[in-house]
């Protein structure tokens, strides 16, 4: 595996009041997936159009009702999609994979926000900015966010092609919940792929939506960064994550601006 991921600062209002409602309309067949891409991910619209048969199909009738979707909700609990027979149908058809690609690129293109002020990581451009337009500041990494190893035990499950995470006893439940929500497959959007259970990270290179935090939650995470840094510093020197300072900077500055955070697997 050699994939590159990003925690992306995003506008909460753009995400929840523009992109997500338009996506729900797409699932309701009020607009096509191609037209959604043309508006919110125009840099990928040609590729989406080329997907042809997959994007021409629609979601099963009653899908949103079966997953318990509430109009105006900012996200869906991933377990609701896992429990849905109609979501399984969407997944088997290949349509959920197409949806995931479109939604993740819409988030990158239409909701990401360049943080205000000077970027202290301006010279570390590979992991510090999106590689495509709009090239906003992010916290990137390769393969996994390795500082999480100071807070979770990680087990590779080759039969499922995922990493399972379990919080270490030193991690307080409120911090664990924030990190689960941002990284570990507990929150999602309707109609897209989800891993087979919570507390997981993909072990392959496909595009996945891994989680998000609302602005108030980003503020709470920012207040925990010193605690995370202490746990990270306590590890063997050779294991410490040199990209943690980049992550901490993006969290602090996003919190100061009232931004949300979204984690995109294969999204750098």
User: What is the maximum alpha-carbon separation in the chain?
Assistant: 54
Residue 77 CA to residue 111 CA, distance in Å, equals 21
Phi/psi of residue 260, each to 5°?
A: -90, 170
How is residue 129 annotated by DSSP? Answer: B
Q: Which regions of 43-182 does DSSP assign to beta strands (E)?
A: 76-77, 139-142, 152-157, 162-167
pLDDT above 60: residue 56: no
Average pLDDT estimate for 164-170: 96
Average pLDDT over the chain, rounded to an integer: 93
Sign of CA dihedral 268, 177, 84, 92: positive
Average pLDDT estimate for 203-226: 96
Residue 58 CA to residue 32 CA, distance in Å, equals 8
Question: By three-state DSSP, how is residue 83 classified?
Answer: coil
pTM value is: 0.95
pLDDT digits (tens, 9 = 90+) for 218-258: 999 999 999 999 988 887 766 678 999 999 999 999 999 99
Mean pLDDT lowest among 59-63, 113-117, 217-221: 59-63
pLDDT above 80: residue 163: yes
According to the model, what pLDDT value does residue 238 have?
66
């Amino acid at each position: 595996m050699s994939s590159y991921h990003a925690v992306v600062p995003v506008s909460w209002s753009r995400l929840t009041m523009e992109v997500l409602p338009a996506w729900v309309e797409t699932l309701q067949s009020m607009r096509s997936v191609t037209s959604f891409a043309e508006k919110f991910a125009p840099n990928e619209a040609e590729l989406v159009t080329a997907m042809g048969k997959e994007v021409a199909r629609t979601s099963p009738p009653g899908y949103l009702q079966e997953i318990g979707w509430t109009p105006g909700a900012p996200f869906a609990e991933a377990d609701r999609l896992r429990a849905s027979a109609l979501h399984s149908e969407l997944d088997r058809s290949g349509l959920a994979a197409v949806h995931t690609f479109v939604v993740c690129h819409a988030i990158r293109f239409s909701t990401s926000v360049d943080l205000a002020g000077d970027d202290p990581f301006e010279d570390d451009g590979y992991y510090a900015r999106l590689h495509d337009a709009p090239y906003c500041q992010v916290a990137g990494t390769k393969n996994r966010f390795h500082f999480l190893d100071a807070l979770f035990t990680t087990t590779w499950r080759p039969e499922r092609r995922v990493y399972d995470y379990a919080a270490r006893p030193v991690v307080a439940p409120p911090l664990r919940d924030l990190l689960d929500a941002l990284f570990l497959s507990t929150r999602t959007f309707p109609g897209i792929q989800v891993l087979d259970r919570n507390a997981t990270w993909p072990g392959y290179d496909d595009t996945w939506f891994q989680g998000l935090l609302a602005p108030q939650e980003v503020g709470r995470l920012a207040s925990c960064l010193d605690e995370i840094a202490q746990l990270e510093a306590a590890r063997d020197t050779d294991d410490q994550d040199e990209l943690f300072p980049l992550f901490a900077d993006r969290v602090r500055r996003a919190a100061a601006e009232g931004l949300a955070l979204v984690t995109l697997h294969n999204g750098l």
